[in-house]
Amino acid sequence: MRKVIDLECDLPPDEHGNPRKDDGMHHPPGYGDPEKLDSLPGHGFENYKRIFTNRTGGAGVATEKKKEGVSLKEFVGRLDKAGIEKGVIRGPNKLLGNILKEYPDRFIGMANLSPHDGMRGVREFERLVKEEGFGGLRVSALYNMVPASDRRYYPLYAKACELDVPVRIYTAMNYASDRPYDLGHPKHLDQVAMDFPELRIVAGLSGWPWVNEMVGLLRRHPNLYCDTGSHRPRYFAQPGSGWEMFLQFGNSLSQDKVMVGLSWEAFGVPMEDLVKEYEGLPLKEAVVEKWLYGNAKRFFRL
């Protein structure tokens, strides 16, 4: 069976149907303001439902299928079936710490710290890595609206260099209609990589629709990688999808820089089916192995 390391290993809801995710998307910009009004219906993160949910309830009506809850043991069994050796997981730090304690060799937890917490956040980051086995830092301007190149992240980046752990940075256009669309523009990675050349950075979601710029930055910075999280693999080879340069360079000059994020829950597709879609892309066999396993193994120093 082919081995896989999944950079966006979505955690399913627990046995009671409760999500194993953080609630960052439920906070509108400026949350905490004493006179903040409720968001408009369909505005902000609610816009994702309009864009990505299958329309099966009539004209303009988006419906969601209730997601099945499973135990961690059952979920690990599903990983075994799909050949996934390790999964990078996201969620509240406390939840991730508990999962890492139970399955220390199966998952890589990315700590989520606020850039507003200053040195308190830096000390907590160090504790999570040294005491709870976290494997890196997660930065998402999508939630806190602080772009990755903002100086408030710099103490966290410096600590990541000191601890020799990577940073996964949200890099893509967002569809939340209450915040700027380009919070995750790849240009923010350029500044971080210039200021921290030792820092291992993975651009989560690979920068769509700024794919050409992402490809250029992968060549420009030795320690900058990307993953394909939240993108259905079968569309990478589809003409007009915007991924043409990514696929061309990912099969040649940048073949050592691409890792996969299956995002199985977002697509409602079994993990093994998504692996088959990657195998079906017009990539050299050696490149398929690198994308699915080899590059991540080297990046995370496993």
Position 56 scores a pLDDT of 39
Q: Is the dihedral of CA 96, 97, 102, 108 positive or negative?
A: positive
Whole-angstrom Cα distance, residue 17 to residue 92? Answer: 17
The domains of the chain are located at 4-23+62-299
| Percent of the residues in the chain that have a pLDDT greater than 90, as a whole number | 83
| Percent of the residues in the chain that have a pLDDT greater than 70, as a whole number | 91
Inter-residue contact 225 to 299 (CB < 8 Å) = yes
Read off the pLDDT of each residue in 199-214 and give the average, rounded to a whole number: 98
Instruction: Read off the pLDDT band of 59 (50, 70, 90).
Output: very low
Whole-angstrom Cα distance, residue 241 to residue 249? Answer: 15
Mean pLDDT of the chain: 92
Q: Which of 33-37, 166-170, 241-245, 251-255 has the lowest mean pLDDT?
A: 33-37
Instruction: Read off the pLDDT band of 28 (50, 70, 90).
Output: low
Inter-residue contact 82 to 2 (CB < 8 Å) = no
pTM of the shown model: 0.93
Angle between helices 154-163 and 118-132 (to 10 degrees): 20
The more confident residue out of 6 and 61 is: 6
Query: How many residues does this entry show for the chain?
Result: 302
Read off the pLDDT of each residue in 13-24 and give the average, rounded to a whole number: 81
Read off the pLDDT of each residue in 262-281 and give the average, rounded to a whole number: 96
Instruction: Read off the pLDDT band of 156 (50, 70, 90).
Output: very high
Position 161 scores a pLDDT of 98
Position 58 scores a pLDDT of 38
Position 37 scores a pLDDT of 77
pLDDT tens-digit map of 95-129: 999 999 999 999 999 999 999 999 999 999 999 99
CATH topology (fold) of 4-23+62-299: TIM Barrel (3.20.20)
pLDDT tens-digit map of 217-231: 999 999 999 999 999
The more confident residue out of 37 and 27 is: 37
Position 29 scores a pLDDT of 56
Structure tokens, 203: 């651009």
